């Protein structure tokens, strides 16, 4: 069952085609990673799906609601965390969530129960009476997720939920997103490929207003797998010299060397397994590490959209 379905969606700003026939299908309960280079159409898509913009043409349904015809019904079915969520910072988290519950018509008992449940989910119980003004960026992001979930939405849209956070804050927010799996459908737009690789079940990559690929994460990595090996040596200069020699070997497709590390992609895995380590030793390299590595989402992204920066 689809919780987000987009068909031939178009959005034109004069001669600029922000979306040019986008098709997208997100199954219920999925954590969906939405990726694309600068200007690919991600932000435009989220704005349309959350009712903040109107398309030029096409169809879009979210949680069974026709976004174009019945957009006024959309708010009850979705939660939205913008890149920089806003709060009444003189309030405490408990007061803020209670206020939102009032807006949705919850009774006093319902508000108290839902506020308690969400504060526990986002791990803000211990600071529930502190003013939001004193919160870190990570704490605000977690409170923003709680606010977006207050009314039990069927679909949650997250715009760059962890991009401006320090490592500890990112881990907290990503752990929270993982805990939402199965509770609602999550559509997460981000430029941090490692975050998508960690928490998303399905990946959709958009470029020039069209969906390039949509696939379960593991199937996508397998489908675009590039055999690669990584080596680490004590002598960066010797490693760089050896890298130049490796670039002339027919079964080697690419070599990158930096700071004592080298990554070699190949088209003949068996030849690489037989010869790479032997050739490294013969070249006099003192190796600290030699391993065959699985492809990353970054490898797949660069194959599909080239070297355009992701954002």
Q: Please name the residues in contact with 175: beta carbons below 8 A apart, sequence gap of 6 or more.
A: none
pLDDT digits (tens, 9 = 90+) for 210-269: 999 999 988 888 887 778 899 898 888 888 888 889 999 999 988 887 777 888 988 888
User: Is there a single domain that holds both residue 7 and residue 71?
Assistant: yes
> Does any domain span residue 174?
yes
> Does any domain span residue 311?
no
- Which among 223, 256, 281 is the end of a domain? 223
> Does any domain span residue 159?
yes
What CATH number is attached to the domain comprising 235? 3.30.70
Number of domains the chain is built from: 2
User: Is there a single domain that holds both residue 156 and residue 87?
Assistant: yes
User: Is there a single domain that holds both residue 214 and residue 239?
Assistant: no
- Print the domain residue range for 251: 228-293
- Which among 223, 241, 273 is the end of a domain? 223
> Does any domain span residue 289?
yes
User: Is there a single domain that holds both residue 22 and residue 163?
Assistant: yes
User: Is there a single domain that holds both residue 110 and residue 206?
Assistant: yes
DSSP secondary structure, 217-247, as one string: HHHHHHHT---EEEEEES-HHHHHHHHHHHT
User: Is there a single domain that holds both residue 177 and residue 239?
Assistant: no
Give the 3-state DSSP-derived string for 256-276, with helices as H, strands as E and coil as C.
EEECCEEEEEECCHHHHHHHH
User: Is there a single domain that holds both residue 170 and residue 274?
Assistant: no
Q: Judging by beta carbons within 10 Å of its beta carbon (0-12, 13-18, 19+), is residue 39 exposed, middle or buried?
A: middle
User: Is there a single domain that holds both residue 81 and residue 120?
Assistant: yes
User: Is there a single domain that holds both residue 131 and residue 46?
Assistant: yes
Beta bridge partners, 12, equal: 17
Residue 199: pLDDT band (50, 70, 90) is very high
User: Is there a single domain that holds both residue 136 and residue 234?
Assistant: no
> Does any domain span residue 185?
yes
Q: Judging by beta carbons within 10 Å of its beta carbon (0-12, 13-18, 19+), is residue 16 exposed, middle or buried?
A: exposed
Q: Return the minimum-mean-pLDDT range out of 35-39, 73-77, 213-217, 257-261.
A: 257-261
User: Is there a single domain that holds both residue 166 and residue 246?
Assistant: no
Q: Are 213 and 35 in contact (CB under 8 A)?
A: no
In the prediction, which pLDDT does 307 show? Answer: 53
What average pLDDT does range 49-60 have in this prediction?
Answer: 94
> Does any domain span residue 21?
yes
pLDDT digits (tens, 9 = 90+) for 124-164: 999 999 999 999 988 999 999 999 999 999 999 999 888 77
Residue 306: pLDDT band (50, 70, 90) is low
Buried b (16+ CB within 10 A) or exposed e, 182-206: eebbbbbbbbbbebbbbbbbbbbbb
Radius of gyration of the chain (CA): 23
What CATH number is attached to the domain comprising 127? 3.40.50.300
- Which among 223, 239, 255 is the end of a domain? 223
> Does any domain span residue 301?
no
> Does any domain span residue 304?
no
pLDDT digits (tens, 9 = 90+) for 97-127: 999 999 999 999 999 999 999 999 999 999 9
Task: Assess whether pLDDT exceeds 60 at residue 304.
Answer: yes
Residue 311: pLDDT band (50, 70, 90) is very low
Q: Which two tokens stand for residue 10?
A: 């178009």
In the prediction, which pLDDT does 265 show? Answer: 86
User: Is there a single domain that holds both residue 203 and residue 241?
Assistant: no
């Amino acid at each position: 069952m689809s919780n987000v379905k987009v068909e031939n969606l178009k959005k034109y700003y004069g001669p600029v085609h922000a979306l040019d026939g986008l098709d997208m299908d997100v199954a219920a309960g999925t954590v969906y990673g939405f990726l694309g280079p600068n200007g690919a159409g991600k932000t435009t898509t989220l704005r349309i799906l959350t009712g903040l913009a109107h398309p030029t043409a096409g169809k879009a349904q979210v949680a069974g609601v026709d976004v174009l015809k019945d957009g006024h019904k959309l708010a009850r079915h979705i939660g939205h965390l913008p890149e920089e969520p806003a709060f009444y910072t003189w309030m405490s988290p408990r007061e803020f969530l209670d206020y939102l519950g009032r807006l949705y018509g919850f009774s006093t008992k319902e508000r108290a129960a839902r506020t308690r449940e969400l504060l526990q989910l986002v791990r803000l119980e211990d600071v529930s009476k502190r003013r939001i003004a004193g919160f870190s960026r990570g704490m605000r992001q977690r409170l923003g997720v709680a606010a977006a979930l207050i009314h039990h939405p069927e679909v949650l849209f997250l715009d760059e939920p962890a991009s401006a956070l320090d490592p500890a804050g990112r881990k907290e927010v990503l752990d929270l997103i993982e805990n939402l799996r199965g509770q609602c459908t999550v559509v997460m737009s981000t430029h941090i490929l490692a975050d998508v690789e960690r928490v998303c079940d399905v990946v959709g990559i958009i470029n020039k207003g069209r969906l390039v690929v949509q696939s379960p994460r593991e199937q996508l990595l397998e489908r675009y797998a590039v055999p690669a090996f990584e080596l680490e040596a004590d002598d960066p200069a010797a490693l760089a010299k050896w890298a130049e020699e490796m670039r002339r070997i027919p079964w080697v497709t690419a070599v990158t060397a930096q700071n004592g590390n080298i990554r070699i992609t190949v088209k003949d895995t068996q030849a690489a397994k037989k010869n790479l380590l032997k050739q490294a030793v013969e070249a006099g390299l003192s190796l600290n590490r030699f391993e065959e590595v699985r492809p990353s989402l970054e490898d797949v992204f660069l194959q599909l959209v080239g070297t355009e920066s992701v954002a």
